[in-house]
Amino acid sequence: MRQNIRLCGLCGLAVKIFLLAVWLQFRRLICLGLKSLFLIFCSFAYLREIPFLSMTTSSRLLSKVLLTNDDGFDAPGLRTLTEVAEELAEEVWIVAPNHDQSGTSHSISLHSPLRVSQKDDRRYSVSGTPGDCVAMAVRHLMVSGKPDLILSGINRGANLGIETVFSGTVGAAMTGLLLGIPSMALSQAFSDRNAVRWDTARTLALKVISQFARGGWSQNSILNINFPDLPVSEIGPIELTAQGTGLMDDIEVISGIDPRSLEYHWIRLQRSAREDAAGSETAAIRSGRVSVTPLEFERTNYAVLASLQAG
């Protein structure tokens, strides 16, 4: 009887030793697995910091882009541009005017406060100009870091020649240039305001932005991009162009009397179909090509300057 009890005790001790050995081996395997996962995570994080390997760890061309426009937060061109940007960037920020700000050029609001309304994650409307929106985004809202690229548009209507001086779409991009960020302005030409070819802009914008996003043009200029009023299948190659004169030739004032017997006035830009120099934006659009024009702040007329200096 005593031998049976002693034998049972030895068996129980053996089972305990066996279970302890199994537990120790299991714990060792878990530790090795956790160490391996930690090393893989650290390696991945390190590789993401190496610029020339960034494309291998991300399916997007850019990390972060900022979108704005001058047609307003709810404009169809901005929705089209958002679809394009979401294919290009990990993060897409939208900071746009809360209503149409066409014709505001590079202006910023110095005499009235700005109101910012958050519509969604990384989506804001601002009670100001396109330039205000860029400044507000870069200097206030985007606390995690500056965007890699600013895209302004897609404008309803082309921005060609001297008309770019008045354009809020171009003005937003120029504000981005002032802040040291690569910027593009994009516009879709139309012949019928109620039938703008947003599908053309949608298809071509992805191609054009991808082609020029990494270029060395951004140190001293923006790119002004215009899409012709044609189906994608009929559009020719991208053409690098000069600003040219464009279609604008006058400013008209239209006056009237409102229901309260008070006088009101509307200002309207006058345009006419005229020939522009070969190699200009207007000539490219007329020939069915996408125009891409580098624009800068410098506007000195050196020929006149030399003439004045010569006395």
138-178 pLDDT, tens digit each: 999 999 999 999 999 999 999 999 999 999 999 999 999 99
Residue 120 clears pLDDT 70, i.e. is over it: yes
- Give the separation between CA 217 and CA 193, rounded to whole angstroms: 32
pLDDT band at 56 (very low <50, low <70, confident <90, very high): very low
- Give the separation between CA 98 and CA 76, rounded to whole angstroms: 14
- Give the separation between CA 282 and CA 56, rounded to whole angstroms: 40
Q: Of 116, 204, 120, 130, nearest to 167 (Cα)?
A: 130
Dihedral Cα 287, 156, 133, 178, nearest 10 deg: 20
Residue 54 in tokens = 């960034």
Top-confidence residue, 203 or 7: 203
Query: What are the tens digits of pLDDT across the range 223-238?
Result: 999 999 999 999 999 9
- Give the separation between CA 39 and CA 25, rounded to whole angstroms: 21
Distance between start and end Cα atoms, the chain:
130
Top-confidence residue, 23 or 224: 224
- Give the separation between CA 211 and CA 205, rounded to whole angstroms: 10
Look up tokens 């014709």; give the residue. Answer: 103
- Residue 130: per-residue pLDDT: 97
User: pTM for the full model?
Assistant: 0.79
- Residue 254: per-residue pLDDT: 95
Residue 50 clears pLDDT 50, i.e. is over it: no
Residue 19 in tokens = 């279970």
Share of the chain above pLDDT 70, in %: 81
